[in-house]
Amino acid sequence: MMFALGVLVFALGIGVSIALHEAGHMWTAKAFGMKVRRYFIGFGPTIFSWRRGETEYGLKAIPAGGFCDIAGMTGMDPVTEDEAPRAFFRKPTWQRVIVLSAGSTAHFIIGVIVLYVLAVTLGLPAATAVAGDISCAAASVNPATGVPTPCDASVPSPAAAAGLRAGDEIVSVAGTPTPTFLDVATVVRQHLGPTPIVVNRDGQLLTLVPDVAPVMRLAAGAKPNDPTNRLESVGAIGVGPKDVLEYSPLTAVPGTAVFTGRLFDMTWQGLLRFPQKVPTVLRAIAGEPRDRDSPISVVGASIIGGDAAEQGQWLRFGLLLAALNFFIGVFNLLPLLPLDGGHIAVNLYERVRDTVRRRQGKVKMPPVDYTRLLPLTYAFIVVLGAVSLLTITADIVNPIHLK
């Protein structure tokens, strides 16, 4: 029951995001005096609609997006005599760029609001290397599971002996910056004996010198549940990460800003890895285990949202919704038609071209002929449609589930 409710609520969240995306275009267009003919959620046959002022609002049968019909989006679009003075292409370039980017801006605002609400209610994952559990440094681990063997808790860990406290932000280890806790673990593994660690404690930088202990840990290339996994000697200080940071309504502002920056970086890195991850989707459809880092569709995201709700992991639910909004916002700004970013690129090109011609004493050229760009536009639509079909298929036959 909770799974179905989670899927429904997550899908509703996506629908609201799409509606606000198109509303961003509409509100900014109206603010600049452009004529907005229609604002619809969905595609296909109209379920219902109504007219308010000069704009028709409505809902269509296929919930796969939405659209905002602004008069004269290009110089080739037919406009009536009454619409001509208010046509999109007749407005200044800066106004057109704002209208075109308003959809992505709406997604970014939604994402930030979701993160802020999470920060003041459930907390946010630590965006930096914040110390959490401080305990003894286990001498070894189980080769099959990687679970540390029991150690004598009466013996203080190197971290505790050096004065490290839960909540300290580990800035560097042995002079190497450690922006994430993974960086801390990686650098500590490479050292033994007294090793300087710089921490930020309540805004004050302190240098601690734990005596890094030699321990046995899984070597690179270890496989899950394989008792033959090789162990290697590395360094450890007995500290774990603080998974979630709690905030007040005031401290949540900078906390949200920091985490937003981290999410933007992760989104961009995900986009760069996207092409090389497509083959993993094909293999998943063929029956191979699904790569948890493979691309997913809104169907897959909704399934994960359902899992999060069923398991009571509402922080994950909210983070997924925020991350999806950031991804859609960034993706939509790529300079490819028919994305908003493609239209922005065309408008900026026209602006630069006309500025150069004006300085050369030449007359202004007419708007870009979009028909010349149709082959590239159709090619991108075909590729995007194929990838969407593949990810949706994989999310149905071999979905990613939260463990």
Calpha distance 86→83 (Å, rounded): 5
Phi-psi region of 354 (alpha: psi -120 to 50; beta: other; left: phi over 0): alpha
Instruction: Give Cβ neighbours of residue 158 (< 8 Å, ≥ 6 apart).
Output: 137, 210, 211, 212, 213, 236, 237, 238
Yes or no: say if 60 and 43 are a contact pair by the CB < 8 Å rule: yes
Task: Enumerate the H helices of 127-235 as residue ranges.
Answer: 158-161, 181-189
Calpha distance 107→247 (Å, rounded): 23
Calpha distance 348→122 (Å, rounded): 42
Active site residue 22: yes
Q: Is 195 helix (H, G, I), strand (E, B) or coil?
A: coil
Given the residues 22, 83, 169, 350, the one annotated as active site: 22
Q: Is 63 helix (H, G, I), strand (E, B) or coil?
A: strand
In angstroms, what CA-CA distances link 90 with 76, 93, 346, 367? 12, 9, 14, 10
Q: Is 123 helix (H, G, I), strand (E, B) or coil?
A: coil
Calpha distance 222→145 (Å, rounded): 10
Calpha distance 131→240 (Å, rounded): 6
| Element of type H or E holding 104 | helix 93-121
Catalytic residue annotation: 22
